[in-house]
Amino acid sequence: MKNKGFAVLICMCFLALLFLPELVKNAGGQGEEGKTKVAGQSGETEKFRAEKEEFEKKTKEKIDKLDKKMDELEAKAKESGSKTKAETKEQVRELKEKRAALKEDMEKLESSGEKTWEAVKRKVEHGLAELEDAYNKVRDKF
């Protein structure tokens, strides 16, 4: 009986050695398919980060230029006549409100992940276009 139990134990050890590496590899997600999937996700993540950083950089540059233009416009408004000055003051206030909303959207963009990126990006693009249009309308009055 002892020899039969010993033989069964040896067979079980042999089978464990035979199949255990494959089970461990699959359980750890390190099979060839797992490696390909992880590598693909890493590439997508790097692409996402690069795209996000580039968009943030370009958008910040545009916003900085608009800020300077808005400051110049406000200075011109202070030098103009009282009626124009009052109208322009109100319009500049509206521009600043739009700029504040855009700043909030940019903060959301900076903290957004891959899942929310596209929606926040569109919102920032829309807000920037709206701010540029509003600025151009006010500028054209001078």
Instruction: Note the pLDDT tens digit of each residue in 10-61.
Output: 656 555 666 655 554 554 444 444 444 444 556 778 888 899 999 999 999 9
Least confident of 18-22, 72-76, 83-87: 18-22
CA atoms within 13 A on the CB side of 38: 8
C-alpha dist (Å) from residue 114 to 10, 15, 97: 52, 44, 28
Q: So what's the pLDDT on residue 11?
A: 55
Q: So what's the pLDDT on residue 76?
A: 81
Residue 88 within any structural domain of the chain: yes
The length of the chain, given as a count of residues? 142
Residue 14 within any structural domain of the chain: no
Residue 64 within any structural domain of the chain: yes
Instruction: Note the pLDDT tens digit of each residue in 104-117.
Output: 999 998 888 888 88
Count of the separate structural domains present in the chain:
1
Q: Name the residue range of residue 117's domain.
A: 53-142
- Share above pLDDT 70 across residues of the chain, in percent, rounded to a whole number: 67
Residue 21 within any structural domain of the chain: no
pLDDT mean over 1-12: 61
pLDDT mean over 63-83: 84
